[in-house]
């Protein structure tokens, strides 16, 4: 599984990355966490507002910082697929 954090490095983007890393650790899954900071690459995901969160290339959220618990839930359901 691969989690992409879509953002240029603003405080909200950094918080989302931290929350995602915590969620991965809590869930104990094999997962790569990748930061996508290039604006052109972020726009290729169709994200207009950062931060964005994608799991395996599919955008799950944009424009807000998801809490750890919600990311854990999203990762668990993505893992079940």
Given the residues 8, 10, 37, 79, select the one marked as catalytic: 10
Q: Which of 39, 74, 49, 54 is nearest to 5 (CA)?
A: 54
10 is catalytic: yes
Tell me the C-alpha distance between 41 and 74, whole Å.
Answer: 23
Given the residues 3, 5, 6, 13, select the one marked as catalytic: 13
* Number of alpha carbons in the 13 Å side-chain half-sphere of residue 58: 7
31 is catalytic: no
Active-site positions read 10, 13
């Amino acid at each position: 599984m691969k989690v992409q954090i879509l953002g240029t490095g603003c405080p909200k983007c950094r918080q989302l990355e931290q929350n995602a890393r915590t969620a991965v650790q809590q869930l104990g899954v094999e997962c790569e966490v990748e930061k996508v900071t290039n604006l052109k690459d972020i726009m290729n995901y169709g994200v207009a507002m950062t931060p964005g969160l994608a799991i395996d290339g599919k955008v799950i959220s944009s424009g807000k910082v998801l809490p750890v618990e919600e990311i854990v839930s999203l990762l668990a359901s993505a893992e079940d697929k």
